[in-house]
Homo-oligomer: A and B are copies of this chain.
Amino acid sequence: MNDTEANASSDADFLEDFHHVATIGATDNAGVDRQAATVDDARTRDWMRGWAEAHGFEVRIDAIGNMFACYEFVPGSPYVLLGSHLDSQPLGGRFDGAYGVIAALHAALRVRESIAESGQVPQFNMAVVNWFNEEGGRFAPSIMGSSVYAGLFDLDAMLAVRDLAGVSVAEALAAIGYAGTDTPPDAISYAEIHIEQGRILEREATDIGVVESSWYTQKLDIDVLGEQSHTGATAMADRHDALVAAAKVVLAVAGVVDEFDDEALVSSVGQHVVEPNSPIVVPRRVHMVADLRSSDPAIVQCARDSLHAQITEIAKDHDITIDVEDFDIRDKRYFPETGVELVEKAVANEGLSVRRLETMAGHDSVAMNHRVPAVMMFVPSVDGVSHCEREFTRDADMVRGLGVLTSVAEDLVRGELSEDRDGAVWIGRSTATAQTPVPIPAADSRSGGDLQTTAEAGA
């Protein structure tokens, strides 16, 4: 690139960068596999570092591996942060996270250009962030980097988290050269754009979603304890097959949604480990995690109670033990109304359509909204699929989103939303005035120890 190009951002430039990054860690079916602190995660980081330095940003890496591309308008002022994450699920999609980071880089370039053209000095500085380990596929809990930054997770505890191969976060970051020592920029506000991962925008042919609140979610740690026996020699009547009982639990979790309105509740079992898992041994144990999410906390509570009752019956019918524990309860949280209105105004200025939404998924913005006022935007996802290779968003939708993000970012840099700060500390609203700490099951080495372990985990 020449000097002029280095400071311009056309839609074509943005798309070229986006589609280039999608080649890093690309899978056979057009997805990406860039789990946190792997070689391919490092390659996207190197790309971002190179891009940022070439475009005149100062790159800082903090102790949990978050990357910040900083640009100072006003020495000493706090920073508006824009960003998302470049890591992915195993066999994940190429849009989840990466779109938000690359859009933020181009939005920052455009804001800088616009500010320069206006000749006005803005109120705050600006940085684009690539948060470490949003996905949590390799290192649990997810949303790790932004939660450490927001003060929700302890840095040392997170650095000590190990993957299934026994490698710690600290070791993995050091191995890829991203165990940073820089002081991160001090945030004043945060904005993020992301694919919807649902099909509401697509169905309603709406360009942009603005997130009002995050869903209430909780997980259930379910441990089905039968008795190991011989698949050939043991009479059917003498068996206490943990897998047969577990299959009924899986169906109960899937079926509990039918007790409520369509799509009012989503439920699933994602983790499910059988022991001893030998073709000729009747299983003694199945350890699983069920995930319940709803906009309405009462629905999750009601589903949870129904499952407790059903599981008690299953255990009785099979004469085995099933332990159930609540964990990873995340309260419904609201994004500031001022931020929602900023997005609505920007969309109107661009001549696009907008809709208020809730997010069923966790995001870095949910963690950041604990620390500073945050703005969260969505663009449409084809078929609503995500966390898979088939995830897809059209170029035109990404470009429209970039335009809105740019507008919002410029408003933030010029001082919008900062009045939402309550003194030095932003207090986001939640449905509970005081959250009761929830007992967290001990990480279990037998099933890989990969249970979520904190109250804000779960992407």
Contacts and interface: CB of A to CB of B under 8 A. Distances in A.
Contacts of A146: none
A446 B113 CA distance: 50
Interface string A252-272: 001001000011001111111
A380 to B, nearest CB: 13
A273 B272 CA distance: 8
Which of A232, A269, A293, A459: most chain B CB closer than 10 A? A232
A281 interface: yes
Nearest to A276: B90
A123 interface: no
Given A387-B229, A451-B279, A263 B247 contact: no
Interface residues of A, number: 78
A197 B91 CA distance: 44
A440 to B, nearest CB: 13
Interface string A445-456: 000101110000
A284 interface: yes
Contacts of A387: 228-230, 233-234, 280-282
Interface stretch (A9-17, A63-71, A171-179, A236-244): A236-244
A199 interface: yes
A36 to B, nearest CB: 13
Contact of A276 (B91, B140, B196, B243): B91
B238 A388 contact: no
Interface string A22-46: 0000000000000000000000000
A266 B219 contact: no
Given A254-B241, A272-B277, A388-B229, A266 B137 contact: no
A184 B388 CA distance: 54
Q: How many copies are assembled?
A: 2
Contact of A235 (B198, B269, B272): B198
A251 interface: yes
A243 B228 contact: no
A235 B385 CA distance: 9
A237 B359 CA distance: 17
Given A273-B277, A279-B219, A291-B280, A266 B231 contact: yes
A93 to B, nearest CB: 10
A289 interface: yes
A236 B232 CA distance: 38
Contacts of A142: 280
A272 B274 contact: yes
Given A91-B284, A137-B278, A281-B89, A241 B268 contact: yes
Contacts of A270: 231, 243, 277-283
A274 B198 CA distance: 24
A203 to B, nearest CB: 10
A360 interface: yes
Given A228-B389, A278-B450, A279-B289, 4 more contacts: A197-B230, A238-B384, A247-B254, A268-B282
Interface of A: 89-91, 136-137, 140, 142, 196-199, 215, 217, 219, 227-239, 241, 243-244, 246-248, 250-251, 254, 257, 262-263, 266-274, 276-284, 289, 291, 293, 359-362, 383-390, 448, 450-452, 458-459
